[in-house]
Amino acid sequence: MSRMSDTWILAAQCPSRLGTVDVVTRFLKEQQCYITELNSFDDRLGGRFFIRAEFRPELKAFQEERFHADFAARADEFGMQFELTAPGKRTGTVILVSKADHCLNDLLYRYRTGQLPLDIRAIISNHPDLEPLATWHGLPYHYLPISPETKLQQEAQVRDIIAETDAELVVLARYMQVLSPAMCELLAGRAINIHHSLLPGFKGAKPYHQAYEKGVKLVGATAHYINNDLDEGPIIAQGVEPVDHTHYPEDLVAKGRDIECLTLARAVSYHLERRVFFYAGRTVVFSN
């Protein structure tokens, strides 16, 4: 079960100034809300303050709209932008995938068991291979083939599905297509990608075989928000594992798949739990 099932989340950021922690914690105390987790960070280089509070109302008469309006009046004095997330919120999500099934399978398991509070509304692929997996989970599967000549048309279909399902989050679970600048702009801050961390040293086909030939000692994965720079968006989570001369290419591939699954799931969890703040081209992440 998700940790968000019984607590509210208040996530906020503002310019650095005296009283930023107090305005949040004092308000929660006045509202008879018990803080179960509190994280804050002051970026002294950027002059920006970030805070995240999980809390449980002690009064049964707690009203979300009233709380939001009253805190907005306090936050305005600090130029504070904030978001309030209710317990049990399940985020509408569309997953993009190609042929590799490991990340999709892992996300669907965590979705099915309640580890990730997702509301998966569609799975989109440029290949038909994984439709049985989606069907087994009772999820809509859209096979949208793509070629250089049909790329813009296919992306328009993807955009339509995202809009029609009112998805808040898009997860690229090893979707092996480069998104257009227009698509990246549309999905800024709400699309998460995963890739192996052997870049930029081992590009193109069979990166793990290239890494084996060079005798790498670490393999890993990076999950990030997409942007128009291929595989260089703001990083949310990374994973790494040591390897040695006993690991053959197929061993590196297997280990890489495991790390990709764990790292993507961690990044999605952080996003859903409002642990990720984006500012000035980089992220602040309060890990759990």
Q: Set out the domains of the chain in order of their start, with CATH numbers.
A: 3-85 (3.30.70.260), 93-285 (3.40.50.170)
- Tens digit of pLDDT for each residue in 255-269? 999 999 999 999 999
Confidence of residue 102 (pLDDT cuts 50, 70, 90): very high
- Residue 231 annotated in active site: yes
Which tokens is 109 given?
Answer: 């398991």
Distance from the Cα of residue 204 to its chain's centroid: 25
Q: What is the structure's pLDDT at 288?
A: 83
Least confident of 1-5, 66-70, 93-97: 1-5
The residue from 231, 244, 251, 258 that is catalytic is 231
pTM of the model: 0.94
- Residues comprising the chain, all counted: 288
Element (H, E) at 261: helix 249-272
Strand residues in the chain grouped as ranges (E): 8-15, 33-43, 48-57, 81-85, 91-97, 118-125, 141-143, 169-172, 191-196, 218-225, 235-242, 276-279, 282-285
